Structure 1
């Protein structure tokens, strides 16, 4: 494509960018509503916490299996086909829970809504990366993209809770049915474009071949460690809060302080993207998270835990825009989808495995042991991070 054609196309993409973010918010909200409604329905029916854990793990199983396929589809066909597939998955899952409303249909809904979000996210992130013509703009674009899930996490659970309290569980799942339809209405507002045709050699390249790049290997390793630190916080906060005698509402405030801080830091990234160096920001985030995780269990009362969670939110909330910006810089443009699929698969594999491991570790040692473990891993990860920074200098 000539440079004279590229300008108008980039301008059309940029006008469509709000619809891209809205598509992600809608599909993420479907998953978030399903997650809250499924968890509360299971507890309301008298099932144990173990059943809740199994349902929550289902949200990460399908992403782990579908992420690489989604990346190949996005590279080959562009955004609309994989997003359409994701909308259909989410819609079928929500309909199953709305109509059936039993343990098996709700489990199917968890599986399909989690898979739908991963398939769509890979395609949408790839499309967002193509909407910029300067690498320095990637951080700003992915800062906006990262705000989508944060906004969904703030609003969707509240909406689901109000519907459950004042109408019914079925009404909450009805909301989950509407959200994929809304996401498709947003998707069709985004201009379609066909990726350049792939040669037979390009079609035959497995995503695993990307791991030959030392930069990508280190980047994926750092992403997994930081994602596991996020999971450790989510696991430990209720346990530590309960041990300190905090009420459920106080524990909710602690968790909310993390989400608010993550949102604030992503807004800051959007504002000051040009002044930020990705690797420096990642290394500072790792050091800040490690130090906070070390002392978290000894922070006093609700104010102390809120401060600790806010510091972790600032550190870990900055990670996704930086990682996505770097990933687009270290992989060929025609393989961005595959690279995003690898990232999605790796992080969801950790999400499936880590909660059970954290539970076992906390049982046999101390409730804060998962945080101490992740603090140690984050400190060790500074060595490969420093090597990556040097290679990019």
Structure 2
């Protein structure tokens, strides 16, 4: 990314790469804690011979707290910038991991999942709003969203892989304790992020409800597609530990399979997104990614060996790694500038409502029909829902 011209013809300031990469590192700490918890919690329950529906409840708790905290996080980011919501986010994640390390009681594990999920979501909204303001046009913005999406991609490598190794060698308590260190690293790194010059706050009388953003058809369409993407990944993260455990795979092998997603999605965001940003429309990228994901899920249950499952997961990394920056760029385009935090928060509420409800549904269906049926069902939903991607406009939907 090079210098860009301002409206009066003068060259703008160089792109702040340092600020961008510090933001990425901060979110890696938060999200690694979440992904490690999301893998370790269900495995701990399965080793205790808990029912699949009970695993679904814990997985749903990761998305419960974000539903209630997202609007607060978005408004706080719009009013105060990056640092205040990040401090709250790191504190929530740290508390969740400490609780999981201290006790294996089922109800406490549910609370730990809720705290870690809420913390990661709280920090992610602040990150996305801050990073989007670094770009000066749609092409730059898609690259920025591609780069900040490296944070959850790398976290999907660091969290599950590291947690799986720790579980196999030292047990669950040590693994959860190690995850608690990661949010503390985020707090330290956040001191390197420059503080933003904030605009004058909007008075309570002038403030509009966040939900009026739903009056815009383009915004609603993007929320639906975001739900498809989120639900498709939730299916994978829920069903893979069950499939792997049923096939006798160790925690480290399951973590390595999940890590394959992180490797390919990171490479796509580093190498492919900068090439596609100004060459293909966001609509084409989104539609192609949805269809590729549907195809992978149609064949995933037949991928028996660990290497075949890793290959399928890696292909999902290619598809979902390209779609997220395009979706976020379009969402930024259709949301008023002063309400970017709120727009991201409404998106987070919808995604996390899905994340809270869908694992419960997955647990019921998985217990009744088997984990393989979840992949086939999601494949059909993606195919049926991809028609909405055809209706997206070239710029904003």
- Relative to the length of structure 2, the TM-score reads 0.85
Q: Deviations over 1:7-27 (max 9, x none)?
A: 999658432211111110111
Q: How far is the alpha carbon of 1:368 from its aligned partner?
A: 3.8
Q: Report the RMSD for the aligned CA atoms in angstroms.
A: 3.2
Match of 1:20 in 2: 23
Q: Return the match for 1:230 from 222, 230, 233.
A: 233
CA 1:86–1:253: 2 relative to 1, 3 Å: closer
Structure number with higher helix proportion: 1
Q: Deviations over 1:159-204 (max 9, x none)?
A: 3344444445443333233222210111111111232113326852
Q: How far is the alpha carbon of 1:355 from its aligned partner?
A: 2.4
CA 1:328–1:371: 2 relative to 1, 3 Å: same
Q: Distance in 1 between matches of 2:370 and 2:170?
A: 41
Q: Distance in 1 between matches of 2:309 and 2:19?
A: 40
Q: Distance in 2 between matches of 1:100 and 1:376?
A: 40
Q: How far is the alpha carbon of 1:360 from its aligned partner?
A: 3.3
Q: Which moved more, 1:293-302 or 1:57-66?
A: 293-302
CA 1:240–1:161: 2 relative to 1, 3 Å: closer
Match of 2:384 in 1: 380
Match of 1:135 in 2: 138
Q: Where do 1:90-105 residues align within 5 Å?
A: 90-99=93-102, 102-105=105-108
- Matched positions, count: 388
Q: How far is the alpha carbon of 1:331 from its aligned partner?
A: 0.8
Report SS of the residue matched to 2:354.
Answer: helix
Q: Deviations over 1:75-119 (max 9, x none)?
A: 121111111111222233334344556444443322211101101
Runs of at least 5 residues in structure 2 that lack an aligned partner in the other structure: 1-5
Report SS of the residue matched to 1:275.
Answer: coil
Runs of at least 5 residues in structure 1 that lack an aligned partner in the other structure: none
Q: Return the match for 1:356 from 344, 353, 360.
A: 360
Q: Distance in 2 between matches of 1:390 and 1:306?
A: 34
Q: Distance in 2 between matches of 1:361 and 1:380?
A: 20
CA 1:335–1:9: 2 relative to 1, 3 Å: farther
Q: How far is the alpha carbon of 1:337 from its aligned partner?
A: 0.5
Q: Return the match for 1:389 from 371, 385, 393.
A: 393
Q: Deviations over 1:33-71 (max 9, x none)?
A: 334444454455665554433322211110111112211
Retained in 2: the 8 A contact 1:68–1:342?
yes
- Relative to the length of structure 1, the TM-score reads 0.86
